[in-house]
Amino acid sequence: MKLSMWMLAHWLKRYSPEVQIVNGGMVLKKLRIVSGNQKSDNREVDKTALLIQSSVGFQSENTDKEEILLSNCGDSLRLLGYPQEVIVNEISSAFAYYNDWEERLRLAAGSAEPEQNIIDECTSLFGPIFLIDMEMRKIAMSAQYGAGTVSPVWDELLAKGVSSFHVMEKLRNTWFFNNYTSLHKCSVTEIENVEEVMPYNKCIIISQVNDMGEVIGQMLISSKDAFEMAKLQLATVIYEVLSTIRPRRPSTSNKEVVSNFFSSMLYSSEQKKEYQSFIYSVNCWSPKEEYCVVVFKKTAAQILVNAKTTLSMISDLLEHCIITHEKEYITACINVTRNSRYQQQIQQICTKRWYVYGMSFVFEGMESVYEMKKQAMLALAGNRSLFSEVAFDSLIHSIEDQNFVIACIHPALRKLKNYDQENHTQLLPTLKVFLQCERSWVRTAEELELHRNTIISRMSKISELLCLDFDDADEREYLLYSFRILASRNE
């Protein structure tokens, strides 16, 4: 193993060396003693050699103490008052120690439990270390740190083998959270403003990769203090050794991480854009695509069926979706842009009446999944499968929740508004006046100061775009009430 001037400075710290390091690369393989008056020919300099010079007063004329100068390619360490023999022995010990440490790491990489054994070999050099896979499950962690000594994250990995999403949520604005799936050879970060969550808030992040170069795990080496350059260089050795582990575990699909993020979005109206971005990225989805939420509720017959079996069955039948499970409910977010057969698939799931379900409106993007889940639950509460069947009543009884009220307006209005913006038409205001004029072509034309044929043409286009039943009094009332809500918000 090649050492560096930073590593030697750390090893010789108790001798208080005067440090002047510019390069500091891990290039040192041997040491060479040079007499005090000898000068090296730059053309013959061995860049892998550490030069050791000893003299009395060769740096300071007014001292009679022995001085040792360690140098390599412009970098130097100066020690005052120590015999050369002592320093040479220390440097030899450093070479022996680090070479032995690297050899132990490489032997650990070929053992039955390589990740755990690698971490165990690092106990004397680093603080708490854990390695998790891309589903936030523990692979290995330092054995000498018990519960309550490091952080809540550490405690949950220790007790459950997986980091609770509620703990990870507290870290969601941190650099680590936003770069969790990225490749890190030895990235250094500080998790700021969350000391109550992670007192060891200085971290080195090292990725474990498979043969395809995919990230399959992240190792966090934690410290309460800033890392010295020597520790960062030692971490690069760990990265290299981790990449040699055979056989490789298969790369995970991130489904559990996505499910955790989705679950958090369902229980808070606060928009978590970083969660959405992660889900879009992992699933190759887009915020411009359309989504709906379906909540399946267990029936008496289903209570006897294993939950894991049911989840597997739903995952197999329902395409392009995210699924999370809590008690008697299974909640799915479906990308309906990608899955045109989702309604048939839902019916197939419920064929044996193992589940009843409630379905939300279809929305563009995932920003409203909290409201979408609420819609699906209200459909279930009303013994209906579609929220559209109870939407008008929900609108009337949910005035106190303004965000939910907006989410409950007739979906036809959103579609017409988007169509008007994209095509520079006036279909939405035409529909509003048409309904206010009790579906009279003549009165609508007079109100808008347009020809009757223009109104007929516009309404024909609206009918082409939307499936609306203007003979249904409830539908007309629902549309007009939705227009009043938009008007109250100047939309």
**Tens of pLDDT along 6-40?**
999 999 999 999 999 999 999 999 989 887 555 54
Q: Which one is predicted more confidently, 290 or 190?
A: 290
- Same-domain pairing of 462 and 383: no
Same domain (yes/no): 19, 49: yes
Domain of 445? 411-488
* Angle in degrees, CA 453, 458, 462, rounded to 5: 145
Q: Where are the alpha helices (DSSP H) in 48-170?
A: 84-109, 114-120, 152-160, 165-169
Residue 226 falls within a domain, yes or no? yes
What distances in angstroms separate CA 272 from CA 56, 169, 376, 462, one per listed residue?
Answer: 66, 10, 21, 35
pLDDT recorded at residue 252:
47
Peptide bond into 199 cis (omega under 30): no
Residue 127 belongs to some domain of the structure: yes
The pLDDT of residue 400 is above 80: no
Torsion sign, CA atoms 381, 257, 318, 365: positive
Q: What is the pLDDT of residues 258-314, one digit of tens each?
A: 888 888 888 876 766 778 888 887 788 999 999 999 999 877 655 445 555 667 777
Beta carbons of 416 and 465 less than 8 angstroms apart: yes
Residues 293 and 429 in one domain: no
Q: 164 and 285: one domain?
A: no
Whether residue 278 is found in the same domain as residue 359 = yes
Q: Could you tell me how far CA 471 lies from the centroid of its own chain?
A: 49
pLDDT band at 250 (very low <50, low <70, confident <90, very high): very low
- Pair (162, 301) in one structural domain: no
Residues 373 and 457 in one domain: no
Indicate whether 229 and 89 sit together in one domain. Answer: no
CATH number at residue 423: 1.10.10.2840
Q: Is 121 helix (H, G, I), strand (E, B) or coil?
A: coil
pLDDT higher for 178 or 127? 127
Assess contact for 364 and 288: CB atoms under 8 A: yes
* Distance separating alpha carbons of residues 128 and 185, to the nearest angstrom: 18
Helices in 350-465 by DSSP H: which ranges?
369-381, 391-397, 402-408, 411-423, 427-436, 441-448, 452-465
Whether pLDDT at 335 is above 90: yes
In a domain, 343, yes or no: yes
Number of CB atoms found within 10 A of residue 270's CB:
8
- Residues 271 and 394 both lie in one domain: yes
Domain at 213, CATH number? 3.30.450.40
pTM above 0.85, yes or no: no
- The domain boundary, picked from 407, 436, 458, lies at 407
Tally the domains of the chain.
4
